[in-house]
Amino acid sequence: MKNEYSVIVPVFNEAGNITNLDSEIKSAMSHLRGYSEIIYINDGSTDSTLGELKSLHGVTIINLNRNYGQAVALDAGFKAADGNFIISLDGDGQNDPADIPKLVEKLTQDDLDVVAGWRKKRKDNGSINILTRMGRLMRRLIISDVVHDTGCTLRVYKREAAKSLDIGGEMHRYILPILKWKGFRIGEIIVNHRPRVNGKSKYNCTKAIRGFIDLIKIWFIQKYSQRPLHLFGYLSLASFFVGFLSGFWTIYGKVVFGLSLNRNGWFFLTAFLFIAGIMFFSFGIIMDFLIRIHLNNSPYEKRYYVREIIRK
């Protein structure tokens, strides 16, 4: 029988949380009509997480070759899921599976493509909350993100929305902006957030910095992925314009004050700006060709490898 729901759970060194979380997920899914599957993605855990997963029943385990990060683990889960509705949540036990039915209800009632959880009362430590608030501010400034909590993994997707994704790096934080850019309808609902009982958080300053770099990538995708020449064209024109002003001042200095060109810094600045203008325009053309090749499904190296798939 085809599954109505697919629950995907990325885990990395969460041995102390697996058994209880699995029981809670199965209890929550029993309140929904239709068949469901539960897929755990072991993201290269170095503790006894894999052994704990193998002790479960009625689940699928995707065991990745090494630790790739949460975005890749989610991507592997999205690609393996076959349900009409795909549900994601963290493996640390802080997301409450009991919220799943109300997320599904909102998705169907409001005819949405994605419903995201909003951890309005977070139970994380102070440093994580500070980093989260800074990230939210940057997202609002750069990509006009109005969703309250883009970092909450607890979400329900329609199959079409989840299958449209191809993510890596720290891009799991920007799934909602990507889907919004693609035209999918997004909603959110307040969900319960619980303190971590076992293990430790994987979020830190290094991931926050990588997330900011990916934020710039999202900004480019949203504004210029279909027309990269426009971005580099603006830079090229600006460079030519400033170069023209610098060149005018160079000629003025030569004619009025008799300044030698090879001793005039404005002359070298003019040359640099005109060369930069040509390079910016050339980059735009090259970027346009590269994106066209990518959109035409050019072959590329796999971003991750699955060691084994275990069905219990």
Under the banding of pLDDT at 50, 70 and 90, the label for residue 247 is confident
Average pLDDT over residues 242-267: 82
Three-state DSSP at 301 gives: coil
Q: Are 22 and 59 in contact (CB under 8 A)?
A: yes
Helical packing angle, 126-143 and 205-224, nearest 10°: 10
Q: Say how far apart CA 188 and CA 165 lie, in whole Å.
A: 19
| Res 282 pLDDT > 60 | yes
HEC string of 179-199 equals HHHCCCCEEEEECCECCCCCC
| Res 40 pLDDT > 70 | yes
Helical packing angle, 265-295 and 228-257, nearest 10°: 170
The CA-based angle 94-95-99, given to 5 degrees, is 145
- The whole-number pLDDT of residue 300 equals 46
The b-or-e profile of 26-59 (16+ CB within 10 A means b, else e) is bebbeebeeebbbbbbbbbbeeebbebbeebeeb
Residue of 96 and 235 predicted with greater confidence: 96
Average pLDDT over residues 140-159: 83
Residue of 31 and 255 predicted with greater confidence: 31
Average pLDDT over residues 264-287: 84
Residue of 117 and 177 predicted with greater confidence: 117
- The whole-number pLDDT of residue 127 equals 57
Average pLDDT over residues 271-292: 80
| Res 210 pLDDT > 70 | no
Of 115, 99, 103, the C-alpha closest to 176 is 115
User: Parallel, antiparallel, or unpaired for β 114-118 and 186-190?
Assistant: parallel
| Res 125 pLDDT > 50 | yes
Fold classification of 5-224 (topology level): Spore Coat Polysaccharide Biosynthesis Protein SpsA; Chain A (3.90.550)
- The whole-number pLDDT of residue 99 equals 97
Residue of 200 and 25 predicted with greater confidence: 25
Under the banding of pLDDT at 50, 70 and 90, the label for residue 93 is very high
Extents of the domains making up the chain: 5-224, 228-295
| Res 197 pLDDT > 60 | yes
Average pLDDT over residues 243-264: 81
- pLDDT averaged over the chain? 85
